[in-house]
Amino acid sequence: MIYQILRPLQNKRGLFSLFSYICTPMAIQTNLKQPLKSSFITHNSSLPIPIMSIFDVYPLLDIEPVSAHGCTITDINGIDYLDLYGGHAVISIGHSHPHYVERVEKQLHKIGFYSNMVQNRLQKELAHKLGVVSGYPDWSLFLCNSGTEANENALKLAAFQTGRERILAFSSAFHGRTAGSVACTDNSLIRSPFSLSPDSVTFVPLNDLEATEEALATKRYAAVIIEGIQGVSGIVLPDDHFLQELRRVCTQYDTLLILDEIQSGYGRTGAFFAHQHTGIEPDLITVAKGMGNGFPIGGVLISPHFKAIHGQLGTTFGGNHLACVAALAVLEVMEAESLISNAQKTGDFLLAQLFSISVESSVICNVSNSTSFFPPVSQMSSPVSSSISGVRGRGLMIGFEVPSSYPTLRNDLLFKEHIFTGAAGKKTIRLLPPLSLSLAQAQQFISSIESLATY
Ligand code: PLP
């Protein structure tokens, strides 16, 4: 307010502006339908107009999507892109799915939000449906708004339940960016001086049972937190046997097991949760990303041995009406269109094709390195400048390495072939497409990789 009054005094017209501002009835001053250039924001043309900008923390691609349907994104210039990134594993049932749009739109006309102090039958419906579809019908659900928030609440629950304060996490893990979850994230660059004490979290190498058991044997750890499949670090799978043994040692030392399925859950790997491929049951499971197909929602699935205490956890927006219908629509479409088995089928196809390209390209590379039988690279008709390797993943959560010409390949996929992919570090391409990806769309990607990866 003071700024608005003093600012017009900067020039002569300002006095008039100030006068007209004071004389303007409040109702008109605050009427947002008035054009923005109202009398009290007159500007000295010799001064630059201050305009609030976006805090520049994201390196942006020069592409602006304006609409999207299924696995296709259309940009402001009318160019269509195949989406093999899903906005970072968020788009589970496909962009703008008609059932999802209808559900959210209808709810918006009824009630979008009220606080968690009243009954909300949509929350109960969602918990019931999620319990059935995920295979955890007797668990309970705490609803929040994002992945990091889900992990914060899981960590708190574990500490409340055990009375212990330490957490064991794994090398290269990513669990979010808020205080507790960033403390469990193995990346000091995103951990600020304001964080948990370094003693609170211990990192041990993934799949190292001995180091894990040695830490847990101290009986000082409230929980172990582990991703179903490490995503941000570049699609790194925990060994099945390691997960089974991890469950055993957690039970042995009264430590809770938190499975972070924020990226690997919601059907992405061909099971509802990635850990279900190994037959183990954790104590807490965190979810977000695919849960709302873009609508911000997260949750903690809580095993029956936890007792809820009023006031211990809470959130303003978590579990609001709109978020619940978005999440219900996701589960309904996943069931109706058998998207989990589609993720398995299309994922198997992609993995097999990528694997055969990587084998072929490694043969070509070996040939090019050979000195005795084949001509040197410079004399070959199609010189090998790149190849893919290290193909890995489960279902539609796939990673592979492009050692020599990584930025070129990813940029070429995007700008020449019009295919969105994800990245991890400097060498890894990540595929996290909508679970509705068809075999034809998967083949389109394979053909593009074949034409680009060895050229
Ligand atoms: N946990 C995992 C495994 C993730 O991949 C992410 C995000 O990439 C998070 C937690 C944090 O989720 P959010 O960005 O919704 O806070």
Instruction: Write the pLDDT tens digit of every residue in 193-249.
Output: 887 777 899 999 999 999 999 999 999 999 999 999 999 999 999 999 999 999 999
Which pLDDT score is estimated for 45? 75
Region 250-270: what's the mean pLDDT?
98
Which pLDDT score is estimated for 325? 98
CA distance 172 to 185: 7
- β-strands 284-287, 256-260: how paired? parallel
Pick the closest to residue 249 from 168, 159, 160 (CA basis): 168
Which pLDDT score is estimated for 406? 67
24 against 338, higher pLDDT: 338
Closest residue by Cα to atom 15, ligand 1, is 147
Atom index in ligand 1 nearest the CA of residue 227 equals 3
Which pLDDT score is estimated for 22? 42
Pick the closest to residue 331 from 129, 94, 137 (CA basis): 129
- Token readout for 231 is 């995503």
Ligand 1 environment, Cβ below 6 A: 146-148, 151, 174-176, 227, 231-232, 260, 262-263, 288
- 260 Cα–ligand 1 center, Å: 9
Which pLDDT score is estimated for 23? 37
In the chain, residues under CATH classification 3.90.1150.10 are 339-370+380-453
Q: What's the fold here for domain 98-336?
A: Aspartate Aminotransferase; domain 2 (3.40.640)
How many C-beta neighbours within 10 Å does residue 380 have?
13
Region 69-91: what's the mean pLDDT?
98
Region 275-280: what's the mean pLDDT?
98
Q: How far is CA 190 from the centre of its chain?
A: 17
In the chain, residues under CATH classification 3.40.640.10 are 98-336
- 180 Cα–ligand 1 center, Å: 13
Which pLDDT score is estimated for 128? 98
Which pLDDT score is estimated for 362? 56
CA distance 434 to 76: 21
Closest residue by Cα to atom 10, ligand 1, is 175
Site to probe by mutation for ligand 1, drawn from 289, 315, 430 as the one with most ligand atoms within 8 Å of Cβ, is 289
CATH architecture, domain 339-370+380-453: Alpha-Beta Complex (3.90)
- Token readout for 127 is 């918990």
Distances (CA, A) of 390 to 87, 256, 343, 354, 399: 23, 33, 20, 10, 8
pLDDT tens digits, residue range 111-143?
999 999 999 999 999 999 999 999 999 999 999
Can you tell me whether residue 313 is helix, strand or coil?
coil
- Token readout for 287 is 């979810």
3 state SS for 233-270: CCCECCCHHHHHHHHHHHHHCCCEEEEECCCCCCCCCC
Site to probe by mutation for ligand 1, drawn from 91, 148, 149, 152 as the one with most ligand atoms within 8 Å of Cβ, is 148
Edge-to-edge strand order for the sheet containing 201-204? Answer: 140-144, 298-302, 284-287, 256-260, 221-227, 166-170, 201-204
Which pLDDT score is estimated for 454? 60
CA distance 420 to 201: 35
* Residue 200, Cβ density class (10 Å: 0-12 exposed, 13-18 middle, ≥19 buried): middle
Band of pLDDT at residue 266, cut at 50, 70 and 90: very high
CA distance 163 to 261: 24
Which pLDDT score is estimated for 386? 52
Average pLDDT of the residues of the chain: 87
Region 162-166: what's the mean pLDDT?
97
Atom index in ligand 1 nearest the CA of residue 178 equals 16
pLDDT higher than threshold 70 for residue 312: yes
Which pLDDT score is estimated for 30? 41
pLDDT higher than threshold 90 for residue 144: yes
- 381 Cα–ligand 1 center, Å: 45
pLDDT higher than threshold 70 for residue 447: yes
Which pLDDT score is estimated for 368? 33
pLDDT higher than threshold 90 for residue 185: yes
How many C-beta neighbours within 10 Å does residue 56 have?
7
Region 32-57: what's the mean pLDDT?
71
- 175 Cα–ligand 1 center, Å: 6
- 122 Cα–ligand 1 center, Å: 25
- 263 Cα–ligand 1 center, Å: 7
Distances (CA, A) of 137 to 104, 207, 262, 339: 25, 30, 19, 20
Closest residue by Cα to atom 14, ligand 1, is 147
Which pLDDT score is estimated for 87? 97
Q: Which residues contact 248 (CB under 8 A, 6 or more apart)?
A: none
2 against 276, higher pLDDT: 276
Edge-to-edge strand order for the sheet containing 397-401? Answer: 389-394, 397-401, 428-431, 422-424
| AA letter at 356 | S
Closest residue by Cα to atom 7, ligand 1, is 176
Helices (H), 7-134: 12-23, 26-29, 86-89, 98-110, 121-134
- 147 Cα–ligand 1 center, Å: 5
pLDDT tens digits, residue range 365-418?
333 333 222 222 222 333 334 579 999 999 999 999 997 766 788 999 999 999
Lowest mean pLDDT among 39-53, 262-276, 284-298, 433-447: 39-53
Which pLDDT score is estimated for 376? 29
